[in-house]
Amino acid sequence: MGGQLLSSKIVVVEEEPQVRGIPSLPTSVAGAVGITERGPIGQAVLVNSFEEFQDRFGGFTPDSDLALAAMGFFENGGSQLWVVRTVHYGDVAVPGSATAVRGFGFLTTPGAPTPALAVSALPEPFRLADGDRIVLSVDGGPDEEAIFNGSAAQVAAGGPGPFALADGQTLALRFDGGPEQLVVFAAADFADIAAATSAELAAAINAQIAGGKALVQAGVLALASDTEGTASRVEVTGGSANAALGFPAGAAIGGGNVADLAAVTAAEVKALVEAAVPAVSVDAGPGGVLELRTIATGAAVTLQVQPATAAAFGFDNDVHAGSDSGAANALRVEGKDPGAYADHVQAEVRLATSGEPSEFDLAVIEDGVYRETFPNLSMDPDAPRYVERVVNDERLGSRLVRVIDQLLPGAPVPDVQVAQLAGGNDGLAGLNDTDFVGNDAGKTGIRALDLVQDLTLLLVPGRATAAVHNAMVAYCEVERDGSVFAILDPPANQGATGIVNYVLNVAALGELTEFAAIYWPRVKVLNPARSVFGPADKIVVAPSGILAGVYSRTDSARPGGVYDPPAGIDKGRMLGVLGFETDEVLEEAKRDLVYPKRINPLTTGPGLPRYIDGSRTLKGGGNFPYIAERRGVIFIEQSLKQGLQFARHKNNTEGLRAQVRRTITAFLLTQMNNGAFRSREPSKAFFVDVSDTLNTPSVIFAGKLIARIGLATNKPAEFIVLRISQDTRALEAELAAAGA
């Protein structure tokens, strides 16, 4: 306000605050990647209860640990879970290459023109060879063809040999993203292991591997996958012998236009044929057979599959014609999401509740139970209750199906009927670690969580492999810049020595990161679905969902709960856990084997609940080696990062730096009172330095403002030491009185 005041008054001037408030960010927003019964593929969807999970992703399936993990997460106190459904992809960089297929069926109407139709006699997947094709003639016109190609991934050694190896040396390799395989070379397999030939090496390797083969080409040893197609991969991952053999680093990838020539899916056939022959549409019919239809309809339309078509499809070579008046497909009803769940769904057309002949009711039936009803639908695109608009509405429409109007002339209403959906496929054939890890460009697998800004916990329930665990660590520490913490499941059927070997040797997780923790063993819970998991009262599950729920419960128990270790008989109690996969964890001697290797046991004792008996991250040599310590620092860092946004692009003056210092100090004082630090005295709990020593003229001219913050974080009491001795105080007093 400038100028002279003209009369007596009270003037209010609002000043910018000298201390900015820093919002406390959420600490237990979990992201989980895995297999579900249904739901969108490769998209992160937030659910806030297990009921929401079931509504969007379906129930329990024998293939998935994710539904069980979600149940454990919410049962133990979790509240926010981002779910990513994955399937097998032809190429994880291409989301559209997901191999899951929607089940479908048609609602028909009589007296309408129909297309020409050719149906294969054999179901998917189709076993093809490179160069196999489908050749079609539409309306007697020239042949049009879709050609299927695929080549195996292959990697060659550094030269023709011979190779100077030693007895017991190893070669670690992986085919098609599967588990790592270890080849051990023994002197007995060679005439002279110090001068091993390519042929001898190929024989030794082939005797020990699956999913691929070793061969010799022009004298050079090579490794090739058994898979031909874009899903084919060969990678030499290590081993002491590779220094001599010279296989290159990185994965070799196969080529072609399908994932696996030996298991071509209907979805792949559809994509290739429809691109090559635009006049034809392709669908997977009941049982996985192919249905080829002409786009045009009527008696003059013909379709012929030519003899040059690969026999693996099972097509006849007859000329198939459409008709001028037949049972035409009026409405395609298909699963809202890809998956075999839709094969248990029926669509029923009933007379309209309104009584109008131009309308109809549609009911959706699942496993014989009426799930949804949509009354008074119309086939007229301009009508308020047009069938596509109502059933496909994202908020109020069907959770089980979607519909596609076939746009018949005159928009006829479907007859009263029941159509069974069929041809659905969960897309799990060929599933490998890559499908869980995903790809940045495709935003598949773990990378689908990139768009979840407040993510703090990561789990991939049940996919306990070295590749997935290392990818989780890299995602948390590198891609998310240390803002996310990973909870790693143990592999199945591991005793104490087995889990130690896995962590130290197989997955090389020892001392790897502060941004992840691994637990052992898997746990037993009450069987929630005997129709799915069999008659046993208890089943063994991966614990990561339960553990993430414990983290969340601890975080929300009090202000500053993130600073409390989620471990021990109080904070670490696991609800719903009835036992453990191995009783070895009940033995102190076995726990003594794993805990020094920074593997956190899950255990119990007489009169005690089943609880988390460890609070260590994978890395003991870093700044913040304990779980609560590391997660607490993540919370502080991310809160400060968000809360100091006000300072960006302001002039870097002493006043701004003082405001930054006061703002940070005020926030840390609050965290100190919430139990974040070892002391309740600010001078001992933390320091904040925004001094001229750090912010020199050269730093300021570079456009930077530097603040240095030191935190005296808490350390958990891992070991309670009780020193017990004889009470000799009375004797000592007596001796003292006697002058002794």
- Mean pLDDT, 10 residues at a time, the chain of 740 residues: 65 66 83 96 97 95 92 97 95 90 91 91 93 97 97 94 94 88 94 96 96 94 95 93 93 93 92 96 85 93 97 96 89 95 96 96 96 97 96 95 91 94 90 94 95 96 94 96 97 96 95 97 96 95 98 96 96 97 96 96 96 96 94 94 92 94 94 94 94 94 94 82 79 83
Token digits of residue 615: 């609070």
> Across the strands, what pairs with 13?
none
What order of strands is seen across the sheet that includes strand 181-184? 181-184, 170-175, 233-238, 251-253
Compute the distance between CA of residue 197 and CA of residue 162 in angstroms, rounded to an integer: 5
pLDDT of residue 328: 87
pTM for this entry? 0.78
CATH number listed for the domain at residues 29-90+430-629: 3.40.50.11780
Q: Dihedral of the CA atoms 199, 204, 207, 211 (nearest 10)?
A: -80
- For residue 221, give the 3-state DSSP assignment: strand
Report in angstroms the alpha-carbon separations of 507 from 248, 498, 501, 510, 512: 20, 12, 9, 8, 10
- For residue 76, give the 3-state DSSP assignment: coil
Compute the distance between CA of residue 185 and CA of residue 316 in angstroms, rounded to an integer: 52
Q: What residues contact 188, with CB distance under 8 A and at least 6 apart?
A: none
pLDDT of residue 18: 64
CATH number listed for the domain at residues 150-256: 2.60.40
- For residue 137, give the 3-state DSSP assignment: strand
- For residue 145, give the 3-state DSSP assignment: strand
Pairing status of strand 485-488 against strand 516-520: parallel
Nearest one of 75, 78, 80 to 45, comparing CA atoms: 80
What long-range pairs does 675-683 form, CB within 8 A, spacing at least 24? 675/560, 675/563, 675/564, 675/714, 676/560, 676/563, 676/632, 676/636, 676/711, 676/713, 676/714, 677/711, 677/712, 677/713, 677/714, 678/712, 678/713, 678/714, 678/715, 679/712
Compute the distance between CA of residue 101 and CA of residue 264 in angstroms, rounded to an integer: 13
Cis peptide, bond prior to residue 162, ω within 30 of zero: yes
- Kindly state the helix (H) or strand (E) to which residue 12 belongs, with its residue range: none
pLDDT of residue 13: 67
Compute the distance between CA of residue 527 and CA of residue 654 in angstroms, rounded to an integer: 64
Q: Is the Cα dihedral 545, 548, 550, 556 positive or negative?
A: negative
> Across the strands, what pairs with 349?
362, 417
pLDDT of residue 1: 46
Task: Check if the beta carbon of residue 228 is closer than 8 Å to that of residue 130.
Answer: yes
Q: Which residues of the chain does CATH 2.60.40.4290 include? A: 332-423
Q: Which residues of the chain does CATH 3.40.50.11780 include? A: 29-90+430-629
- Kindly state the helix (H) or strand (E) to which residue 622 belongs, with its residue range: none
Q: What residues contact 570, with CB distance under 8 A and at least 6 apart?
A: none
Q: Which of the following CATH numbers is that of domain 332-423: 3.30.1490.190, 3.30.470.20, 2.60.40.4290, 2.60.40.10?
A: 2.60.40.4290
Token digits of residue 492: 């199945």
Task: Check if the beta carbon of residue 612 is closer than 8 Å to that of residue 551.
Answer: no
Question: What DSSP letter does each residue of 564-612 carry, written as one string?
Answer: S-S-EEEEEE-TTEEEES-GGGGSHHHHHHHGGGTEEEEE--TT---EE
Q: What residues contact 555, with CB distance under 8 A and at least 6 apart?
A: 27, 28, 561, 562
Nearest one of 413, 144, 404, 409 to 294, comparing CA atoms: 144
